[in-house]
Every structure is written in structure tokens, then in C-alpha cells.
Amino acid sequence: MSLPTTSDLHRRVTELLTQLGVDIDTGRKAGAGDIALRSPITGAVLTGVPADTPADVRDSIGRAHDAFRAWRTVPAPVRGQLVRELGELLRTHKQALGELVSIEAGKIRSEGLGEVQEMIDICDLAVGLSRQLHGLTIASERPGHRMMEQWHPLGVVGIISAFNFPVAVWSWNAALAFVCGDAVVWKPSDKTVLTALACQALAAEAARRVGAPDQISSVVVGGPEIGAALVDDDRVALISATGSTRMGRAVAPRVSARFGRLLLELGGNNAAIVAPSADLDLAVRGIVFSAAGTAGQRCTSLRRIIVHRTIADELVERLAKAYRTLPIGSPLDPRTLVGPLIDHAAYEGFRAAISAATGADGGELIVGGGRVGGDEHGEAYYVEPAIVRMRGQTAIVRAETFAPLLYVLAYDDFDEAIALHNDVPQGLSSSIFTTDVREAERFMAADGSDCGIANVNIGPSGAEIGGAFGGEKETVGGRESGSDAWKNYMRRTTNTVNYSSGLPLAQGVEFV
Ligand code: NAD
């Protein structure tokens, strides 16, 4: 496996940031008070970026609040022009931003570009939406009265995002927030600050072009304590936070304590049921992409297969064969399908889960699990995606391990498959491979999958922007991107207008 050198990456990052309009000193050493930014490709520090303080966060929120007060009275279709410009800039800079995503988050080139395409798609959706933020007209029980709903801008939206979708998740939130009349303050993962600064430069340019307030979009840099400053500030009307369940447990009570609005997108433990009638060629392709793609570091990555016992051996054998030929290496090499884990902690989590599953839990390691190149690559962690065949759904299988580790469980009866499927704390995405229409429909029915996303004959990962994205149970129930997710970013008023000369009271109440 040949990797670029850290100085090659550093030079390339400097070029890309210049192209994207980011003005920072990439020669800065990571000193005290700085975030040390690494590329998982080599594991070495690329540059230091100064971290913000809680006081800086409060200043950003204050400026965003001023921007909101001006922006909320701009007609929504005019606000849409900001997002149209942002979409155009993203089209122009798709290659550069996609490559920066690959360098900073370790995604293979095609997935880095796919992430930017997802940003363009949500911009397109939001521009159309800017002419469709409509409420209902409701029949009044009182004569000469009319009732209606209006949707109004909400305020400042605080976005907290995870490392694994370093740019798309911001855009899901920001594109909708901007057309809804809100301002945005974004705290990206402290592992992916450069891509965030690039998005911010593009948003600032879009704002300049259309004459929107320049503080409509801002970025604050730091770790959980900087996220907490955003979470605790009652000028932030909505906190939209994406990340681990651990993060959600810390954030939710703090936002609730001040009666703020909360949109949480937390961890998943996504499964695929493979039924006896499944098209196995299609299932194998769908499973390998969902489980090993993005090195298992998607919230929707496939982590469990629940396969009918009669086809379990054949499926496992075919998957193992496919896994053995997966090209692992630098995500910048166009032949690579599996890039690096984000860092040492992710590698430790991968190894610990395999040990637990194959130790006391009695699982059998079918393929993978090793570190490619051993210690040769220092702080860069490339692993062979692993499959472990389990006898039961033990505690380690029920936990999310954010790495390419796929557990296989067998079932005999379809009800048992659904029960196993749902017997985990998380509820993000799910899928079934079957050609039996009864099984497919049952899987999507009320007593089927309990997840926010339930797919048939595709894996659980790779959602489109048009649908509402999110999960249930410990994934928590927030919905982002398409469908009616925009309602999270607005407040609703119900208006009743009396155009008669009488004053009839609702429910026939008399008061004279
Ligand atoms: P993480 O929870 O470690 O961090 C996510 C973000 O939360 C970061 O910006 C982090 O700095 C911030 N944060 C952490 N603790 C905080 C606190 N106490 N207060 C305020 N902010 C805090 O997650 P990660 O390792 O970056 O990403 C991987 C996790 O994210 C996985 O669990 C994955 O399933 C989940 N994820 C979920 C979705 C989804 O849509 N459901 C999407 C992407 C990632």
C-alpha cells in the first residue's frame, strides 16, 4: 500500500484552501489553544487552527442574532437566491471541496464528491422550497371567521456536526435554515475544521453576492466545550446536533432545561434481513457497499446481517470472497474502495469489538480484522473489513462500533428475524433483501422494522435528499433534509380572523 507523504498532503491542502477562498496560515504549528488537524491518510498533523473560546461563541451568536432580525423580513423566495448562489458555488468547487473531504475525513474520492453532490442537491431542494413554505387554511366552526396557519422564521440555528459527514450535514441544515429565514452558527467536528472553513468561505461569498447579512452563517472552532457554549445560549432557538448517542445524552438535557428546540441525529446499528428468496448477487453487492464502504464510518453503515439459516453458509462464503478482494489504501487513489479509519481511537474500538465478539461471546471471525501494514503507517489506521459470525445478539452486537465490522446472525422464522432486527437500542436505518412481496411489505409495516429508514433490496446506507432523514429510539427521532423537515426550522402561528360583525365564541360558550 503506497501512501502520499504528509508534505504532499500539506501542499495540496494549501492549494485547495486557496482555491476555495479560505484565508488561514497552513504553516501554523499546533500550539496551546490550537486544534491540531490531521489527515487520516497519513495520521500526521497538517496544520494548527486556533480554537475559539466560549466568549467568541457568544459573540458569534450575537452577530447571528442581528443577522436573523434583518433576514426574517426578506421574502422567502428572495432568501432562496442565497441558497441558489451557494449551490452554484458548490458546483464550481465540487472537485476541490470533494478532495478536501477525502484528505480530512478519509473518504474515497467518489464518496468525497458524492458528499458535495448531496450539498448541491439540498440547495436545489431548498430553492424550490423557498416558494412553498405554506401553511393550511382551516375551516372555522364560527360563522364569518377564517383560520389559517403561517410559518415564520425561527431564529439562530446552532449546528453541531460529526466528522464522518463533514460538509453534507451542515448543508442539510443550513440550506433549509437560510430559506426559512434563520441564521446559522456551526460547530463542526474538531477533526474536520478545514472543510468547515471552506464551506463557510463559500457561504460568505454567496451572501456577499446576493447582499444577505454577512453573519447569516458562521463557524466556531473547538471541541465539546465550544459545542456546549452553543447549546447553553438561549439566543439559539434550535440546536441541530449530529453525532454519537453519548453526545446526545449530554446535549439533550441542557437544551431542554432552557426549553430550546432540539433536532438530534445520533448513532445507528443498522441491519439487513436476507430472506431465502433474496437475489443473492444483488444482496452481496448491496451488503459489501453498505458494510465496508466509507470504512464502516457512516451512521447508516450496515452492522448486522440477519440471514435465513438455509442460505447463511452460501451468503457468508460469497461475502468473504468479496471482502478478500477489496482494495484498501489511500482514499486519493482512484482504485481504492476502503480508506482509513479516522484515528487511533476508532482502531481501538474496532479491535476491542472483534475481541469481545470472538472471545466470551463465541463468535467466529470469518474474514478481515487485521491492520494493513501493521505499525508501518504510524498514526494512520487502515484495516481489513471484518465479518464475524455470531450465535446470538450479544451486548457487543447491540452496540454501535464505528468501523467496518459486520456481524452475521441466522434466523429460522420471519417473526424471529424482525424481533432480532428490532432488538437493539438504536433505530436509524434498515433493509431487507427479498423477492417475496409479503415479507417486503411486512418489513415496512407498523409491526416490521422500527427504524426511521426501511429499505427493500438496497442496503441501509446511501439516502437521497428528497426523503426525511433520521431515526428512532436512541437515534432519537430528528428529521433532516427532505419531505417536511423544513418545519423544524420555522415556528408556526395559528391565526383566526373574524370578518363578521358578531362575536360568536368557540364551543358555543355564552359570555354576556
Ligand atoms: P461525536 O459524538 O464524538 O461528536 C459529534 C459532534 O458533537 C462533534 O462536533 C463534537 O465536538 C460534538 N460534541 C461532543 N460532545 C459534546 C457535548 N457534550 N456538547 C456539545 N457538543 C459535543 O461523534 P463523531 O465521532 O464525530 O461521529 C460519529 C458518530 O456520529 C456515530 O455515532 C454516528 O452514528 C453518528 N452520526 C449520526 C448521524 C445521523 O444522521 N444519525 C450522521 C453522522 C454521524
What's the grid cell of residue 191? 477533526
Cβ-based neighbours of 494, under 8 Å, separated by 6 or more:
138, 147, 148, 149
pLDDT recorded at residue 250: 98
pLDDT recorded at residue 429: 98
- Whose cell is 458548490? That residue is 90
Question: How many whole angstroms from 161 Cα to the centroid of ligand 1?
Answer: 6
What's the grid cell of residue 36? 491540531
Task: Please check the confidence at residue 207 and state whether its pLDDT lies above 90.
Answer: yes
Among 299, 400, 474, 480, the active-site one is: 299
| Active site (annotated) includes residue 299 | yes
Task: Please check the confidence at residue 200 and state whether its pLDDT lies above 90.
Answer: yes
| Active site (annotated) includes residue 265 | yes
pLDDT recorded at residue 332: 98
What's the grid cell of residue 173? 441544515
Question: Is the C-beta atom of 268 inside 6 A of ligand 1?
Answer: yes
What's the grid cell of residue 19? 482555491
Cα gap 464→482, rounded to integer Å = 8
**Element containing residue 6 per DSSP (H, E):** helix 6-19
Q: Which ligand 1 atom is nearest residue 222's CA?
A: 11
- Which has the minimum average pLDDT: 24-33, 102-111, 136-145? 24-33
How confident is the model over 80-106, as pLDDT tens digits?
999 999 999 999 999 999 999 999 999
Q: Which ligand 1 atom is nearest residue 475's CA?
A: 41
Question: How many whole angstroms from 212 Cα to the centroid of ligand 1?
Answer: 30
Query: Which homologous superfamily does the CATH classification assign to the domain defined by 52-266+476-492?
Result: Aldehyde Dehydrogenase; Chain A, domain 1 (3.40.605.10)
Task: Please check the confidence at residue 355 and state whether its pLDDT lies above 90.
Answer: yes
Task: Please check the confidence at residue 401 and state whether its pLDDT lies above 90.
Answer: yes
Give the max Cα distance, the chain: 88
User: Per-residue DSSP letters for 126-152?
Assistant: HHHHTT-----EE--SSTTEEEEEEEE
- φ, ψ dihedrals at 236, nearest 5°: -95, 110
Question: How many whole angstroms from 486 Cα to the centroid of ligand 1?
Answer: 22
**Segment 27-35 mean pLDDT:** 92
Instruction: Note the Cα 295 to chain centre separation in Å.
Output: 15
Task: Please check the confidence at residue 374 and state whether its pLDDT lies above 90.
Answer: no
**Segment 315-344 mean pLDDT:** 98
SS (H, E, C) 23-72: CCCCCCCCCCCEEEEECCCCCCEEEEEECCCHHHHHHHHHHHHHHHHHHC
Distances 512 to 141, 144, 509 between C-alpha atoms, Å: 20, 20, 10
Query: Is the separation of the CB atoms in 171 and 157 below 8 Å?
Result: no
Task: Please check the confidence at residue 512 and state whether its pLDDT lies above 90.
Answer: no
Q: Which ligand 1 atom is nearest residue 267's CA?
A: 34
Whose CA is closest to 101, among 113, 92, 91? 113
Query: Is the separation of the CB atoms in 263 and 239 below 8 Å?
Result: yes
CA atoms within 13 A on the CB side of 218: 25
Distances 382 to 294, 339, 406, 482 between C-alpha atoms, Å: 12, 7, 16, 34
pLDDT band at 77 (very low <50, low <70, confident <90, very high): very high
Question: Is the C-beta atom of 452 inside 6 A of ligand 1?
Answer: no
Among 99, 104, 111, 265, the active-site one is: 265
Q: Which ligand 1 atom is nearest residue 265's CA?
A: 41
Burial 158-168 (b: 16+ CB within 10 A, else e): bbbbbbbbbbb
Cα gap 212→125, rounded to integer Å = 20
Cα gap 295→463, rounded to integer Å = 17
Q: Whose CA is nearest to atom 26 of ligand 1?
A: 162
Question: Is the C-beta atom of 323 inside 6 A of ligand 1?
Answer: no
Whose CA is closest to 301, among 272, 270, 339? 270
Whole-angstrom Cα Rg for the chain: 24
Q: Whose CA is nearest to atom 9 of ligand 1?
A: 189
User: Domain segments of the chain: what residues?
Assistant: 52-266+476-492, 270-465
pLDDT band at 1 (very low <50, low <70, confident <90, very high): confident
Cβ-based neighbours of 307, under 8 Å, separated by 6 or more:
273, 274, 315, 316, 408, 409, 410, 411
Question: How many whole angstroms from 481 Cα to the centroid of ligand 1?
Answer: 18
User: Per-residue DSSP letters for 72-91?
Assistant: TTS-HHHHHHHHHHHHHHHH
Q: Which ligand 1 atom is nearest residue 223's CA?
A: 11
User: Do 52-266+476-492 and 270-465 show the same overall fold?
Assistant: no
pLDDT band at 345 (very low <50, low <70, confident <90, very high): very high
Question: How many whole angstroms from 503 Cα to the centroid of ligand 1?
Answer: 53
Task: Please check the confidence at residue 44 and state whether its pLDDT lies above 90.
Answer: yes
Whose CA is closest to 96, among 199, 225, 250? 199
**Mean pLDDT value across the chain:** 97
Task: Please check the confidence at residue 46 and state whether its pLDDT lies above 90.
Answer: yes
Query: Is the separation of the CB atoms in 205 and 89 below 8 Å?
Result: yes
**Segment 173-179 mean pLDDT:** 98
Question: Is the C-beta atom of 479 inside 6 A of ligand 1?
Answer: no
**What is the CATH class of 270-465?**
alpha beta
Task: Please check the confidence at residue 304 and state whether its pLDDT lies above 90.
Answer: yes
Question: Is the C-beta atom of 434 inside 6 A of ligand 1?
Answer: no
**Segment 51-59 mean pLDDT:** 98
